[in-house]
């Protein structure tokens, strides 16, 4: 049996997970939370990760009931992500691999999400909607690559939601997106916002600029509530995502959709995607916050697949790549 430990720290989550042949043995995680109205800076995020990473590592081993000798491979997030946090985690993973005398493996963060989603949901060959704070892509597997059919041409959907949360001073605990989702449930008035789909791609920066500008005027004049704006923003951006996912499904002849990434645990997005799938006679696969939000187990799972198919990363090649495309990786573990 192959046991892989995975280190994830590409943004404000630091997670370490252990996978043994498709079984999640442990998956502890910490989140760096900033005050309302503030984002997280790379240097401060890296400082947070440095402060807690060894505690999280000990937790992962204790929870799994394993010793370093039981681990077969050490996987870490190579990218994409924020530079300083990525470097922090890569340094620890490299050190651990050398101390324990284990092979090292750099993993693409996006592929970690996909492989974790496939493991947990048992989706066979889905069209993947990958939505997070830093990424928005529609992906399908073909000929040993995860092909990107459509993506954001500016900011990610999660970044759009997070930055709107800052404008109206929504709490970052547990996450801005979660708090927007709860407020949106109380919204009743739909405020029309720009809807920007360009073929298979989407754009969120114009929507964000528009709602940032309109928010203070509309809220101060009593035209709508903050809850109405949260509701309207979700409905608009999620409709765009459902549209491009459906188009990719039609192109691929796919009957499965898998939603992954932090925004993927939004129940309204799952509901809207579910309606589209039902109308097409297709099936929706989605997970909860344990596996949607960045975590170490997803890096361990992708690492497990890669390690079993012969991949390892030599020490001199174990750098990080902030812009590491999903379609750059040769997927040797799928037929």
Known binding site for a divalent metal cation: residues? 109, 113, 130, 294
Q: Is 111 left (phi over 0), alpha (psi -120 to 50) or beta?
A: alpha
In the block, which residue shows the tokens 């008035």? 189
In whole angstroms, give the CA distance from residue 171 to residue 242: 27
CB-count exposure of residue 156 (10 Å: 0-12, 13-18, 19+): buried
- Other Cβ atoms less than 10 A from the Cβ of 245: the count is 24
Closest Cα to residue 227, out of 218, 34, 289, 35?
218
Q: Binding site, residues? A: 109, 113, 130-134, 162, 177, 181, 266, 294
22: β partners = none
Backbone angles phi, psi at 83, to 5 degrees: -55, -55
Q: Facing residues of 75 across strands? A: 6, 105
CA distances from 141 to 44, 114, 125, 170, 226 (A): 36, 10, 7, 37, 40
User: What's the per-residue H, E or C state across 135-182?
Assistant: CEEEEEEECCEEEEEEEECCCCHHHHHHHHHHHCCCCCCCCHHHHHHH
Residues contacting 143, CB < 8 A, separation 6+: none
Output the known binding site for substrate. Answer: 130-134, 162, 177, 181, 266
CA distance 312 to 87: 19
């Amino acid at each position: 049996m192959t046991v892989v430990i995975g280190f994830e720290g590409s943004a404000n989550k630091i997670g370490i997970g252990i996978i043994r042949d498709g079984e999640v043995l442990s998956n502890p995680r910490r989140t760096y939370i900033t005050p309302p109205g503030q984002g997280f800076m790379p240097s401060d995020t890296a400082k947070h990760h440095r402060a807690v990473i060894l505690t999280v590592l000990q937790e992962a081993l204790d929870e799994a009931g394993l010793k370093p000798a039981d681990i077969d491979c050490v996987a870490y997030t190579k990218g994409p992500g924020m530079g300083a946090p990525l470097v922090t985690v890569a340094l620890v993973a490299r050190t651990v691999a050398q101390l324990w005398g284990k092979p090292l493996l750099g993993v693409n963060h996006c592929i970690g999400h996909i492989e974790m989603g496939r493991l947990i949901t048992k989706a066979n060959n889905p069209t993947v909607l990958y939505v997070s704070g830093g990424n928005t892509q529609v992906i399908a597997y073909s000929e040993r690559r995860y092909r990107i059919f459509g993506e954001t041409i500016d900011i990610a959907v999660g970044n759009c939601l997070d930055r709107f949360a800052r404008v109206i001073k929504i709490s970052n605990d547990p996450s801005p997106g979660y708090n927007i989702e709860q407020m949106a449930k109380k919204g009743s008035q739909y405020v029309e916002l720009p809807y920007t789909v360009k073929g298979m791609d989407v754009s969120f920066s114009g929507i964000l600029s528009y709602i940032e500008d309109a928010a203070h005027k509309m809220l101060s004049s009593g035209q709508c509530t903050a809850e109405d704006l949260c509701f309207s923003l979700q409905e608009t951006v999620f409709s765009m995502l459902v549209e491009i996912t459906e188009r990719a499904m039609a192109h691929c002849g796919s009957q499965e959709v898998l939603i992954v990434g932090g925004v993927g645990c939004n129940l309204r997005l799952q509901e809207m995607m579910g309606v589209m799938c039902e109308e097409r006679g297709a099936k929706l696969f989605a997970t909860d916050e344990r596996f949607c939000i960045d975590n170490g187990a997803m890096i361990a799972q992708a690492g497990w697949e890669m390690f079993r198919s012969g991949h390892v990363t030599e020490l001199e090649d174990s750098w990080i790549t902030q812009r590491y495309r999903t379609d750059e990786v040769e997927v040797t573990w799928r037929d």
